[in-house]
Amino acid sequence: MSDRFDVVVVGAGPGGMAAAAVAAEAGRQVCLIDDNAALGGQIWRGFRTETAQKYPHGNEFLRWEERLRKTNCPLWHGWRAIDCPGPGVLRLDGNREHHDLEFGRLILATGARERFLPFPGWTLPGVMGAGGLQAMVKAGLDPRGKTVVVAGSGPLLLAVAAGLAGVGTNVAGIYEQAPLSQLAGFGLALLGQPAKLFEGARYRLKTLGAPYRTGSWVVRAEGRGRVESVTVTDGAKQWNVACDWLGCGFHLIPNLELPLLLGCRVSGGSVVVDALQQTSLPGVACVGESTGIGGLEKAVLEGQIAGWAAAGREAEARALAPRLRKLQRFAARLERAFALRSELRMLAEPETLVCRCEDVSHAALQDSASWREAKLHTRCGMGACQGRICGTAAEFLFGWECSAIRPPVFPAMVSTLAAEAEAPDPAHT
């Protein structure tokens, strides 16, 4: 089974939606695929047409949803791109079958995930990502009457805590590892934007009642069979906070598996693109968080640039480029503001698991010299998540380069893998 489109867009978050809409409006046959059941990616998860306008940047979501709908661009939900079996072909797995998509141009908008770091107790039920906890609540987990701690690093912590506090959750504390001095420099650089400052203040008001502490972090989670409390430190003293759930994530990292599999050049943890969002691979563009964590506005603008470029409308694409520079500076400031402190490398004890899929402890990894050696000797990173969680942690903990990618980039059905074996001209040999 195969279909052909002028442009295939992978990822239906803000960047992918904008790219698909612009390319389709310019007359190209476009297909937008995503592994989730709805449009919006992570930042617009749970936005509904009827209520989105009440929320910050809800109108932006509605605008792109409307533009996409008018183009009749097909939206393929529940599909994951797992391989590129030949030039111009993307293999999808999902919905209990597989499918090959042929493309003229490919736009990758694979987004980002949270970075998780191991600490004693991080595998206990009830310990989730900060964004993970928010995603679960958006998916129907009832947070009313629960006591939660939100910790880790990044602007996401405040957004998550504000949302939870707003629906009747007791937010016992928000712990940001970055010191105030590091964050203050970041905030001062934004003083030229009063409207947005106001938005920010509104968010903070909603979190009233929950202490937002900078320069502090969770050192351990405890409980019998599930998390019941966490120990927090500010580097000098330690204290205990009781909770039902801990949402803990250390800012975001790009999802690079698909770009790496295809062979796109990656540098400094993100995909390298030119002024038209084109990667090192002809015909393949990349937009949004995978070109550097920079947020919504950057993703939407990059999506539009890639969309115009895919439609052969270079002049329109280039006209948007100057606006992008400001957003790229914002991305660079973000990275500096939420840089991780070295103490976080010391949280894992010898018996603390680093690889949750194969249960590989920190001690077992001590003697490995590289990610490859760790995989061969301990099976670290060889489980179902394919190193997405532990590889990211190991890069920070041990300084390894953890980016060896082979297909399928997500666990796939055996029937899909059988099709893989039959593929006549594998691109990845």
Partner 1 sequence: MEYLIQIGSAHLELPPLSESFSITVNGKPVPVFEGTSVAAAIIMANEPCRFSVLGEPRAPLCGMGICMECRAIVDGVAQIRTCQLACAPHMEVVTG
Q: Give the footprint of partner 1 on residues 248-287 (CB under 8 A).
A: 252, 255
Listed ranges 83-91, 134-142, 310-318, 365-373: which one lies at the site for partner 1 (CB under 8 A)? 134-142
Burial 33-44 (b: 16+ CB within 10 A, else e): bbbbeebbbbbb
The footprint of partner 1 on this chain (CB under 8 A) covers a number of residues equal to: 85
The total number of residues written for the chain in this structure: 429
Question: What is the spatial distance between Cα 207 and Cα 201, in angstroms, rounded to a whole number?
Answer: 10
User: Maximum Cα–Cα distance for the chain, whole Å?
Assistant: 62
3-state secondary structure of 237: coil
What's the min distance (Å) between Cβ of 233 and partner 1? 22
Q: Is 294 in the site for partner 1 (CB under 8 A)?
A: yes
What's the min distance (Å) between Cβ of 276 and partner 1? 23
Judged by beta carbon, residue 137 or residue 309, the one nearer partner 1 is 137
Q: Is 214 in the site for partner 1 (CB under 8 A)?
A: no
Q: Is 187 in the site for partner 1 (CB under 8 A)?
A: yes
CB 112 within 8 A of CB 11: no
Q: Give the footprint of partner 1 on residues 348-407 (CB under 8 A).
A: 356-359, 383-385, 388-389
Q: Is 136 in the site for partner 1 (CB under 8 A)?
A: yes
Burial class (CB in 10 A: 0-12, 13-18, 19+), 345: middle
What's the min distance (Å) between Cβ of 295 and partner 1? 3
Task: Tell me the HSE value of 120 on the side-chain side, using a 13 A CA sphere.
Answer: 13
Residue whose C-alpha is closest to residue 32's, from 19, 50, 48: 19
Q: Is 142 in the site for partner 1 (CB under 8 A)?
A: yes
Judged by beta carbon, residue 45 or residue 313, the one nearer partner 1 is 45
Residue whose C-alpha is closest to residue 155's, from 344, 330, 346: 330
Question: What is the spatial distance between Cα 412 and Cα 11, in angstroms, rounded to a whole number?
Answer: 18
Q: Give the footprint of partner 1 on residues 11-70 (CB under 8 A).
A: 35-37, 42-48, 51-52, 55-58
Which residues, 6+ apart, have CB-to-CB distance to 274 below 8 Å?
A: none
Q: Is 162 in the site for partner 1 (CB under 8 A)?
A: yes
Judged by beta carbon, residue 90 or residue 389, the one nearer partner 1 is 389
CB 106 within 8 A of CB 10: yes
CB 360 within 8 A of CB 390: yes
Judged by beta carbon, residue 70 or residue 139, the one nearer partner 1 is 139
Q: Is 295 in the site for partner 1 (CB under 8 A)?
A: yes
Judged by beta carbon, residue 65 or residue 358, the one nearer partner 1 is 358
- Find the angle CA(142)-CA(252)-CA(110) to the nearest 5 degrees: 90
Q: Is 97 in the site for partner 1 (CB under 8 A)?
A: no
What's the min distance (Å) between Cβ of 266 and partner 1? 18
Task: Tell me the HSE value of 254 on the side-chain side, using a 13 A CA sphere.
Answer: 29
Backbone angles phi, psi at 268, to 5 degrees: 60, 30
- Can you tell me which of 206, 313, 341, 428 binds partner 1, judged by CB under 8 A? 206
- Can you tell me which of 166, 211, 235, 426 binds partner 1, judged by CB under 8 A? 166
Listed ranges 119-127, 261-269, 309-317, 367-375: which one lies at the site for partner 1 (CB under 8 A)? 119-127
- Can you tell me which of 209, 225, 350, 424 binds partner 1, judged by CB under 8 A? 225
Q: Is 201 in the site for partner 1 (CB under 8 A)?
A: yes
- How far are the Cα atoms of 75, 366, 377 from residue 144, in angstroms, in the given order? 34, 42, 45
Judged by beta carbon, residue 10 or residue 160, the one nearer partner 1 is 160
Q: Is 415 in the site for partner 1 (CB under 8 A)?
A: no
Residue type, 119: F
- How far are the Cα atoms of 130, 195, 215 from residue 246, in angstroms, in the given order? 8, 32, 18
What's the min distance (Å) between Cβ of 325 and partner 1? 16
Strand partners, 91: 83, 100
Judged by beta carbon, residue 246 or residue 317, the one nearer partner 1 is 246
Q: Is 127 in the site for partner 1 (CB under 8 A)?
A: yes
Q: Give the footprint of partner 1 on residues 311-340 (CB under 8 A).
A: 330, 334, 337
